[in-house]
Structure 1
Amino acid sequence: SARQREGEQRRAQRAEIRQLILDHAEKRPSHGEPFHFADQGRVLSLPVDARLRRGLATRKLRLATWEKRYYIVSAQTAEKIGQRDPSHLVALPSGGEIRDPAYTEFEVPDDLVW
């Protein structure tokens, strides 16, 4: 009966994650500039507009995965997903920090930061 309860808890947790991702996913444009990211050793891209790109670059938006599809969700939703199962979140690089003081005045485009 303990295994049965564990199975029920896992199913309930998966249902919560599914609902969080599907209910709170940002609407993605069908065409746009590609946003490149790496997941499980593969380089992938999603079409995004300027608002989504800016949100992903500043970590106000995050990438979540459900059944081999990628969704853009808010940071608050990503935090809730991470509390349940962080394997459904795609780790984005921290990027953008400049270590050499001579280059601090030059901005690095977010599509070059990996």
Structure 2
Amino acid sequence: MAGSLKDQLLKAGLADKKKAKQIDSEKRKQQKQQSKARKSGQQVEDNNLSLQAKLQEEREQKRQHDRLLNQQREAEKREREITAQCRQMIQQQQITLPGDADVGYNFVYDKKIKKIYVTDALQKQLSRGQLAIGVLDESFYLVPDKFADKIEQRRPDMVIRIQAEETVDEDDPYADFKIPDDLMW
């Protein structure tokens, strides 16, 4: 095992002479620059230390990037869980619409007027605010008010609330003329 590492690598065929000469010349240039810097009084920058600092900085950036990705994944996971809970509540608590429902109930969804057919009793409950409309995959279901509150706290876009009748203003000259909810045009 006599000789330098360079000689051993050349004999083993793991390196070629051209590459070895290039590395030697780079080494000499670096030593020359360092000696010139010492003579002129400039501080000599150790390539090893700067390389380690650079690697440490890259590691820290990667950790921060990974931390941000993990936070995003956790947030997405929480959103999926909340959506699944709301979906399950709507599916379990929905009030089935009878087949003989003949009263059309209009409401606004996504800036469009939608219509579902309900019975007279369900229409009265909707107008009083005892029922709300749950939205699942562009389908509409009737949900009791207390469950609609729970869903609305988690995902407000999955519930359409019908405002209960407001209190009458005493100074309103048209207070005696109420417009019924079931008015058909």
Would you call these one fold, judging by a TM-score over 0.5?
Answer: yes
- In structure 1, the gaps of 5 or more residues are none
User: 1:108 Cα shift?
Assistant: 2.6
Q: 2:98 touches 2:118 (CA, 8 Å); kept in 1?
A: yes
Q: Report the counterpart of residue 179 of structure 2 in structure 1.
A: 108
- 1:76-87 correspondence to structure 2 within 5 Å: 76-87=146-157
- In structure 2, the gaps of 5 or more residues are 1-69
Q: Report the counterpart of residue 42 of structure 1 in structure 2.
A: 112
TM-score, length basis structure 2: 0.54
CA offset digits 1:34-67 (Å, max 9, x no partner): 1111112211111100111011000000111111
SS at 2:88's partner residue? helix
Aligned CA distance change for structure 1 residues 102 and 83 (closer, same or farther; 3 Å): closer
Q: Measure, in 2, the Cα distance between the counterparts of 1:98 and 1:69.
A: 34
SS at 2:96's partner residue? coil
Q: 1:96 touches 1:108 (CA, 8 Å); kept in 2?
A: no
- 1:1-114 correspondence to structure 2 within 5 Å: 1-30=70-99, 31-93=101-163, 100-104=172-176, 106-112=177-183
Q: 1:96 touches 1:110 (CA, 8 Å); kept in 2?
A: no
Q: Which moved more, 1:71-80 or 1:91-100?
A: 91-100
Taking only aligned residues, the RMSD between alpha carbons, in angstroms, comes to 2.0
Aligned CA distance change for structure 1 residues 13 and 66 (closer, same or farther; 3 Å): same
Q: Measure, in 1, the Cα distance between the counterparts of 2:148 and 2:119.
A: 20
- Rg larger in 1 or in 2? 2
Aligned CA distance change for structure 1 residues 71 and 111 (closer, same or farther; 3 Å): same
User: 1:32 Cα shift?
Assistant: 1.5
SS at 2:141's partner residue? strand
Q: Measure, in 2, the Cα distance between the counterparts of 1:17 and 1:79.
A: 11
